[in-house]
Structure 1
Amino acid sequence: MTGPTYLQFHLAFLLPALMLMIATAFVSRARLRAIGRWHLGAGRTYWVGVAIITVVALVYTTPWDNYLIATGVWSYGEGSTLATLGYAPVEEYAFILVQPWLTALWLTHLSLPRGWTTPSRPLGSRVVAAALAVALGVVGWRLLGTAATFYLGAILAWAAPVLALQWAVGAPQLWARRRLVALGTLVPTTYLCVADRIAIEYGIWILSERYTTGVTVAGLPVEEATFFLVTNLFVVQGLVLYRWVLDWRGVGHGTDRSTPTRATDVDST
């Protein structure tokens, strides 16, 4: 292969993004402290949560990823990968491990409202949100029955259980911080979509025409955009809910000792 490799993709897109997020995080934290705002990464417990989510992501994604590669949903350009473990190249596992950290680092740049709201109908909102996730899963399973929608269906069916769990546990808390969740999700999603579009253009990985709809957004298959959207949503919602659970249990905020653990005030992001 004369084009770039999967490893070079990591070096060109993921590594610089990680370094930029780490370098700018210090500036963002200082700015947020100066204006009296708190950020999600204030304290060591945040990084414990990131590590937990990373392990869960690897365990949950690996069988699904390997199955789709074995099925032929996508493949890799000749000579673009170093080695494989199962059906997936080692660079694919690296991607799974790096993405949560990239999104988590971006999330530390955003301010977090202090305290948590007390929803008026917590059970009802959780049930409705979980039902929506189940509906997505049903749609996904139906799409699996047609070759052209197989990849899209696989994404929705795979994502539905995680979304159902997160929304059933903390839909009111996530909705109260919807601006934080949206911004925390959409920025890394956009960046990874652009990187993915370039990787496809250079043939680092190749999506099957048989198992995809052929619908694209600026040249990017809609399936790939959907994948990055749901996976970043997993990470952001998981970290917000992790913070909520720690606050509910009265766990300290590390160095940010001024942050209340059970306040009810709501601020905008």
Structure 2
Amino acid sequence: MKKPLNRLTAEERHVIVNKGTEPPFTGKYNDFNTGGVYTCKQCDAALYRSEDKFQSHCGWPSFDDEIPGAIKRLTDADGRRTEILCAKCDGHLGHVFEGERQTPKNVRHCVNSISLNFISADKLSNDNQQLATAYFAGGCFWGVEHLMQQQPGVESVVSGYMGGNTDNPTYSEVCSKTTGHIELVEVSYDPKQVDYMTLTKLFFEIHDPSELNRQGPDVGEQYASAIFYQSEEEKQTAEQLINTLTAKGYKVATQLRPASTFWRAEEYHQDYYQKNHKEPYCHRYQKRF
């Protein structure tokens, strides 16, 4: 199920929702140098890494880079500055400035501490060890992502590409059918709450596994049904379910392929249906087990 936004205090809402600014030299992360990751206070999305933080002496935390796809830029209400927001929830962070030559990257993200939370490197490592990943391709990744997000125990679902012969493919390149990539999702889940068998069953029930290189109106090799397994155990689980479906009379076209490099899709593809307030047009749940 989609994680709700965190509850904010009145002071936090003033900055994050109403685009206010905390007083300079008052934020907890202004003079702060611990290793880890800075996240959005409103939605917990990862925004900045500690290695990109620098001391600009401006009174607010400063970063010269962002986690790819984490930050949205908009022209500020004053018409001059560039506002920065969390790309996931549109929470106000601060402003970005270029040309100051304070670091080799020549960029300064000036961020309100109150817009941030922090996860230390040690805690981040421990948390990551608790999560597992799975890779499922079932046609357009928008619908697979949307329905996988509803499963309890799933922490995040990211749309992307896998299985091709080029690095860093773009959506247009994948659609050109020249790279060999397939649209798929990376599912991060808590094995204590949901197991791989349950996720794989759900995968077979939210798309039509009998379709060959298509799903609904979307046609092409990039829309193939496939499971990219990371272990022999995952492969055997998928084979078991395919055999069950075959025994039920389904002509399963789902490919089983070893996982390779996962390439995250462009940001506008992430949480597509949530952002656009729509429902999947070629995916729906149908009980098959």
TM range (shorter): under 0.3
> Which structure has more RCO (C-alpha within 8 Å, separation ≥ 6)?
1
- TM-score normalized with structure 2 length: 0.22
- The answer to which structure has the higher helix fraction is 1
Larger Rg: 2
